[in-house]
Amino acid sequence: MKPAPFSYLRPDSLAAARDALLRHGPDARILAGGQSLMPMMALRVAQPTVLVDISRIAELQGLKRDGRYLRAGALTRHAELLSSALVRSWVPLLSRALPHVAHAAIRNRGTLGGSLALADPAAELPACALALDAVMHIHGADGCRTVPAADFFQGLYSTAAGDGEILTAIDFPVCAEGERVFFDEISRRRGDYAIAGLAAIAQADQSVRLAFLGCGDRPLRAPRAELLATDACRSGHVPARALLKEALAADLDPPSDLQASADIRLHLAAVLVERALRSWMARSHASLQETS
């Protein structure tokens, strides 16, 4: 159906956007790509009376290498990240994850900042940000501050960005020499929200970071499973699935819903860890063969 009536503002600067949000308070919502907000408004689960369209604000755009980080403006469209050589070189985990985000028409409009600020627990980019230890730049009434990903995602659709605050940019640490990445998700159809998914990084010293989507009310690291996975990378042996599942059950809190039970999600999480480990081991084996 059609959205409920609202007023529409399109400020041309960050300061003007912040002022508009302050002025209108909880009646106002930020509109960026609109690929999540517009469906919510069409279904009338969201009925803001004021929309503040930030999509033309220059200060929120741009993608550039900045020392140890790749800084992405919050308005960077998914499609731009997907096709970016900078991202492919310096934050390859994103390049692996982005083909799983919805469909081309959605990726042409949806934004990085929008996805992170919505913090859907089954979305790809929040899990990637968590795996990468990304840093969020937030602009509010009191000025700017930074929040690391581990503190940014606080609950279901809940982040450290408060009412009236705007996520302006995200710093992704650039990948180090010898670092390997993995992304996969399990969904019924291409483009569906994941039933469960994994954004994983194996660092040069073989220590593994695992960030899961669809396994809780927010993207979640799994420290106990990370220890098992790190051992596996060092020893070359994939742990028994029962061990993996037990480790994951300690750190994840998957929901049961129409798509899958909590137990199925835990099972899928274990399968995804195995896939990650096998893909890394296969590549190590292949490169050893090449050099011998």
Partner 1 sequence: MNASQAPESPDAPIEVRLEVNGRAIRRHVPPRMHLADFLRHELHLTATHVGCEHGVCGACTVRLNGDIVRGCLVLAVQADGCEVTTLEGLDASGSIADLQDAFVRHNALQCGFCTPGMLLCAAELLERAPTTDRAAIRDHISGNYCRCTGYHAIVSAVAEVAEKRLCSVRFEAGDAK
Give the residues lining the site for partner 1 (CB under 8 A). 1-12, 20, 31, 34-35, 38-39, 41-43, 49-51, 53, 55, 79, 102-106, 108-109, 189-191
Q: For the CB of residue 188, give the shortest distance to partner 1 in the complex, in Å.
A: 11
Cα dihedral 167, 150, 134, 46 sign = negative
Query: Is 70 in contact with 87 (CB distance < 8 Å)?
Result: yes
Q: Which is nearer to partner 1, 12 or 253 (CB)?
A: 12
Residue 69 half-sphere exposure toward CB, CA atoms < 13 A = 16
Q: For the CB of residue 47, give the shortest distance to partner 1 in the complex, in Å.
A: 10
Q: What does the alpha-carbon distance between residue 73 and residue 58 come to, in Å, rounded to a whole number?
A: 9
Q: Which is nearer to partner 1, 166 or 228 (CB)?
A: 166
Q: Which is nearer to partner 1, 39 or 223 (CB)?
A: 39
Q: For the CB of residue 120, give the shortest distance to partner 1 in the complex, in Å.
A: 14
Q: Which is nearer to partner 1, 1 or 286 (CB)?
A: 1
Q: Which is nearer to partner 1, 103 or 143 (CB)?
A: 103
Q: If residue 204 lies in a helix (H) or strand (E), which one and from where to where?
A: none
Q: For the CB of residue 38, give the shortest distance to partner 1 in the complex, in Å.
A: 4
Q: Which is nearer to partner 1, 8 or 143 (CB)?
A: 8
What is the three-state SS of 55-114?
CCCHHHCCEEEECCEEEEECCCEHHHHHHCHHHHHHCHHHHHHHHHCCCHHHHCCCEHHH
Q: For the CB of residue 83, give the shortest distance to partner 1 in the complex, in Å.
A: 9
Q: For the CB of residue 21, give the shortest distance to partner 1 in the complex, in Å.
A: 12
